[in-house]
Amino acid sequence: MVRSRRYTPLLIAVILGVHAIAADAAPKRGKRAAAAAAGGAALAATAAVAASPAPGKPPASSPDREAAAASAADAAFLATRQAALQGSLERLEAAAPGVEPAMRSYVDYWRLRFRLTARGTPAGSEAAVDAEATAFIDRTDNPLLADLARRDWLQRLARRADWSAFERIYPTWVLRDEAALHCHGGVASLETGKPIGEEARDALFQPRELSEACGSLLERIAASPGAAGRDAAWRRLKLALEAGAGGSVRRIAPLLGLAPGAVEAALQRPAKVASPGASREVLVIALGTLARQDPEAAAGLTDAIAALPAAERAWVWSQIAAHSMRRLAPVPAAWLNHARTAQASDETWAWLTRAALRAGDWLAVHQFIDRMSPEGRRDPTWIYWDARAHQSLGRQTQAENGFRGIAGQFHFYGQLAAEEMGQPTTIPAPAAAPTSAEMAEASGNPGFARALRLYRMGLRQEANREWNFQLRGMPDRQLLAAASYACERRVLDRCVNTADRTRAEHDFSLRFVTPFRAQLEAAASERGLDAAWVYGLIRQESRFIMDARSSANAQGLMQIIPPTARWIARRLGVNDFRLEQLNELDTNLRFGTYYLRSVHDDLENSPLLASAGYNAGPNRPRQWRSTLPRPLEGAAFAEIIPFTETRDYVKKVLSNAAFYGALMTGQPQSLKQRLGHVVPVTMRASELP
C-alpha cells in the first residue's frame, strides 16, 4: 500500500467563510487558544455554490448575490486556466473579462506565457517578446507570477542561445528550483568566458538521468582542452550508472570515445561483456549495470578480473555493496572493505553506512560518513549516527559535540540526539500570541488572499505555491501570524507547514494541530490506540486535508485505499459502504483506526513496524525484519528501510507522535521507547490487505 504524498483534492471544503465556526463556538481563551480551536473544529463543511433564484422565489439576498458573483468569477478563472493549459488563446480571451480583479494577474501571465513558450520567432520579434516580459515583471502586483515569468523567459533565452541576456536575468530568478535552468546557467557562464557556478555543478553532478540542458553543459565541459573535460564526463557517467540511467550512459559514452555497440552490449548483456579483454570504461559500465541486477554475480566477476584499475575496482565494489543493501541482502564485510577508497556519491555512501549500521560495525559507520561530501555530513541523519559511532568507539567528546549540534532541532534525529543527552521530547515554551497588528498584516497579505481564492476553487497546488511564496524571508513573528491566520481560515496544512518554519519563537499548538480531538480520541480509545500516534500518522498522511487523495487513490485523513476500505467495511459489517464516505470524518477515523490496530496486532504491537506496514503494506516490514542478521534498535531499523518514502514516513510519524504525546499530556516523551527493538523473525505472510 505504498501511497504517494501527492494529493489531488476532490471538492475542497470551502476555505473562505467557515473559519468563524470554531472561533464563535469556543469559549474566549485568548488568541492562541482561538487559533488552536480553529484548528480543532470539524472540517466537513462543503462549499455552497449559489444559483440564480427559481421562478416565483424571492430575490436573492446580498450574501446570495455575493456568493453568485464569486461563483461566476471562479468559473471564469477556471475557464481561462483550462484554455491556457490547452493552448487556446482565443478561449482564454473570451473568458478573461469575467475574472475578478484580484486574480487578473494570472490571465496576464498566461497571455505572456503563450508568447514565451511559442516555438520559432513569434509575431513581431524576439526584442518585442523581451519587452513584453520586462513590462509584465515590472508592473505585475504578483511577485510569484513575476518569478514564473522570469523562469519562462530564461527558458526562451536558452532556446535561442542568447547567453548574454540569460546572464543578466538568471541572478534575479528567485525560486531557483529547476536543475535544467542551472545547467543553462552553466552554459551561459562558459559562453561568456566565466567558470560555471556552484548551482550548475550541483545540478550536473547528481546520480540521476541527465536532462537535455545538463547534457549540453556536459558536452561543452568535455570539449574543453586537457584532462579535466574527460574526467568530468567519466565522473558523470558513473553517476548515471549509480542511478541506473542507461539513457544518460548512452549519451555520455561518445564524449569518452566509446563505441555505441560496445556500450549497448555492456548495458544489455553485462555478465557476458565483463571480461578481462574489455576496455576499462566498458568493463565499469558492465559491472556497474550487473551490480544493480545481481550483486553476487558482479562480485564474482570483479574478483576474477585482476586487470581492473584500483580506483575503478573500489567504485564497482561500492555499487555491489550498495545495491545488495538496497535489497537488504547480505553485505559481506569484505565488500565494504573493498569499497572504502571509492569515489562515489553521497547516496552510495549512505547505503554503505546503512550496511555497516545493520552489521553493528561502528568504525565503518564513522569511516563511510567521513567519505561523504561536506553537505552530506551536515545532514542530521549522519550527524546523529556519526555521534553514535564515536560513542560506541569510546570517543565521548566527539559524540557529545555531535549530539549537541542537533539536539535542539525538532525532528526525528534531533529528538534522538537530545535523548542521548538525557533530554526527552518536551514542548518548548509557546511564543506570545500574534498581536492584532500582526494578524492584520497577515490577513491583508494579497498573496494569502489569492491563495485562499485558489483553495476555494479546488486548485490546491497553485494555492500552496502562492501561500509558500509569501513566506520567503519572513521572521518568526510574521510566520506565527500567518500560521494562525491559516488555522483560522481552515487551511490546516498551511497552518502546520508555516508554523514549522519558525526558528526561535515557536507555537506547537500550530505545528501540531489537534482538530476534531473528541472524535479522534473516541475512535482511538475504541481500538486501544494512542491518540498521539493517530494524530502523528494523520499529520504525515494528509496534513488534515479532509478529502486528500493520493496518486494511488488513497483517500481521506488517514489515506485509505479502496480495496482496504472495502475489506474494513466487511470486517465492521458496514453493508452499504460507499467510497465517497472515506471523505467523512467519522467514517475515515473509524476505518483508519481499525486498520491501524489490525496492523499493530499483526506486527507484534510494534508502533515502528505498524507505521511501516500502514504505509507500505503489512508484508513489507515482515520481509525486511526477516533479513536482519541480529536484533536491531528501532532507530537503526527505521534507517535501513529500503523504500525512501516509507523510511521518511516512519521517522516522521513517530517523531510526530512523540511531540503530540508531550503536547496532549504535558509529560516528557521518549521517542526511543516508541521505536523499541526489532528482532529477526522468519517471514510469514500476513492475512491483512
Reported as a single tens digit per residue, the pLDDT across 197-229 is: 999 999 999 999 999 999 999 999 999 999 999
Rounded to 10°, the helix 585-602/517-526 angle is 40
Q: What is the mean pLDDT of residues 273-298?
A: 97
Q: State the first-to-last Cα distance of the chain, in angstroms, to the nearest integer.
A: 8
SS3 677: strand
Residue 659 CA to its chain's centroid (Å)? 21
- Grade residue 633 by pLDDT with cuts at 50, 70 and 90: very high
Question: Is the model more confident about 177 or about 122?
Answer: 177
* 384 contacts 358 by C-beta, under 8 angstroms: no
- Kindly tell me if the per-residue pLDDT of 193 is higher than 60: yes
Going by C-alpha positions, the residue among 500, 454, 455, 460 that lies closest to residue 480 is 500
- Give the pLDDT score at 444: 98
- Grade residue 62 by pLDDT with cuts at 50, 70 and 90: low
* 222 contacts 236 by C-beta, under 8 angstroms: no
CA separation for the pair 242, 323 (Å, rounded): 9
Q: What is the mean pLDDT of residues 461-489?
A: 98
* 185 contacts 172 by C-beta, under 8 angstroms: no
- Kindly tell me if the per-residue pLDDT of 173 is higher than 80: yes
Grid coordinates representing 482 are 500567518
Going by C-alpha positions, the residue among 143, 78, 82 that lies closest to residue 446 is 143
**In the chain, pLDDT over 70 holds for what percent of residues?**
90
- Using CA atoms, how far residue 641 sits from 10, 312, 325, in Å, is 32, 28, 10
**Cβ neighbours of residue 355 closer than 8 Å, sequence gap 6 or more:** 321, 322, 324, 325, 331, 336
CB atoms within 10 A of CB 598: 23
Within 86-142, residue ranges assigned H as helices are 89-95, 104-117, 126-139
For residue 677, list its beta bridge partners: 633
- Give the pLDDT score at 429: 97
Is 605 exposed, middle or buried, given 0-12, 13-18 or 19+ CB atoms closer than 10 A? Answer: exposed
**In the chain, pLDDT over 90 holds for what percent of residues?**
88
CA separation for the pair 468, 458 (Å, rounded): 17
Would you state the torsion angle of the CA atoms of residues 337, 342, 347, 350, taken in this order, to the nearest 10 degrees? 30
CA separation for the pair 565, 418 (Å, rounded): 39
Going by C-alpha positions, the residue among 615, 581, 635 that lies closest to residue 365 is 635
* 136 contacts 152 by C-beta, under 8 angstroms: no
Question: Is the model more confident about 332 or about 1?
Answer: 332
The backbone torsions φ and ψ at residue 425, rounded to the nearest 5 degrees and listed phi first, read: -70, 125
**Cβ neighbours of residue 351 closer than 8 Å, sequence gap 6 or more:** 321, 322, 323, 325, 326
- Kindly tell me if the per-residue pLDDT of 15 is higher than 90: no
| Burial profile 443-480: b = 16 or more Cβ within 10 angstroms, e = fewer | bebebbbbbbbbbbbbbbebbbbbbbbbbeebebbbbb
* 328 contacts 624 by C-beta, under 8 angstroms: yes
- Grade residue 231 by pLDDT with cuts at 50, 70 and 90: very high
SS3 669: strand
Question: Is the model more confident about 343 or about 15?
Answer: 343
Q: What is the pLDDT of residues 400-429, one digit of tens each?
A: 999 999 999 999 999 999 999 999 999 999
Q: What is the mean pLDDT of residues 100-118?
A: 97
- Rounded to two decimals, the pTM is 0.91
- Give the pLDDT score at 160: 94
CA separation for the pair 331, 551 (Å, rounded): 34
Q: Return the beta strands (E) in 429-542 as ranges.
A: none
Least confident range from 109-123, 290-304, 517-531, 558-572: namely 109-123
* 512 contacts 663 by C-beta, under 8 angstroms: yes
- Give the pLDDT score at 192: 94
Rounded (5°) CA angle 339-343-344: 85
- Grade residue 122 by pLDDT with cuts at 50, 70 and 90: low
| Burial profile 93-118: b = 16 or more Cβ within 10 angstroms, e = fewer | eebbeebeeebbbbbbbbbbbebbee
Give the 3-state secondary structure of 607-656: HHHHHHHHHHCCHHHHHHHHCCCCCEEHHHHHHHCCCHHHHHHHHHHHHH
- DSSP characters for 403-417? HHHHTTSSSHHHHHH
User: Across the chain, what does the average pLDDT equal?
Assistant: 91
- Kindly tell me if the per-residue pLDDT of 56 is higher than 90: no
CATH numbers and ranges of domains, the chain: 20-26+32-43+430-511 (no CATH), 258-326 (no CATH), 517-678 (1.10.530.10)
Going by C-alpha positions, the residue among 627, 680, 618 that lies closest to residue 646 is 618
Q: What is the mean pLDDT of residues 125-132?
A: 94
Would you state the torsion angle of the CA atoms of residues 635, 362, 242, 309, taken in this order, to the nearest 10 degrees? -170
Q: What is the mean pLDDT of residues 261-276?
A: 97
Q: What is the mean pLDDT of residues 145-156?
A: 98
- Give the pLDDT score at 46: 29
CB atoms within 10 A of CB 169: 19
- Give the pLDDT score at 61: 61
Q: What is the mean pLDDT of residues 647-661?
A: 98
- Grade residue 459 by pLDDT with cuts at 50, 70 and 90: very high
- Kindly tell me if the per-residue pLDDT of 254 is higher than 90: yes
Residue at grid coordinates 478529502: 547
Q: What is the pLDDT of residues 572-600, one digit of tens each?
A: 999 999 999 999 999 999 999 999 999 99
